[in-house]
């Protein structure tokens, strides 16, 4: 499970907004506009499974390690804000 971290620790990072659609047929990422993504995940939104899949998909899409992606807002919401390296 991912913890929400203090965003002030990393000033050289960028915030991206994510709208998550859990229980989808397949996993996919669609960039709606700059720094705003719609992510469909095939897992249910329980016990952090959807959040974990979102982190995995963003990591692959942006080619950055999962360890460098922080969930800073929306752990229990479909609208999330992630902090990624700039």
| pLDDT tens digits, one per residue of 40-75 | 999 999 999 999 999 999 999 999 999 999 999 999
Residue written as token pair 């720094």: 35
What is the span of the domain harbouring residue 37?
Answer: 13-85
| pLDDT tens digits, one per residue of 10-36 | 578 899 999 999 999 999 999 999 999
Looking up residue 48, the CATH number of its domain turns out to be: 3.30.1200.10
Residue 7 lies in a domain: no
Residue 26 lies in a domain: yes
Count of domains forming the chain: 1
Residue 4 lies in a domain: no
pTM listed for this prediction: 0.84
Share of the chain above pLDDT 70, in %: 87
């Amino acid at each position: 499970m991912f913890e929400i971290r203090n965003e002030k620790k990393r000033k050289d990072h960028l915030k991206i907004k994510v709208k998550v659609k859990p229980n989808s047929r397949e996993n996919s990422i669609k960039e709606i506009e700059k720094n705003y993504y719609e992510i469909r995940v095939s897992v249910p939104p329980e016990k952090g499974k959807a959040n974990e899949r979102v982190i995995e998909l963003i990591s692959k899409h942006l080619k950055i390690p999962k360890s460098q992606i922080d969930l800073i807002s929306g752990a229990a919401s479909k609208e999330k804000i992630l902090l990624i390296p700039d």
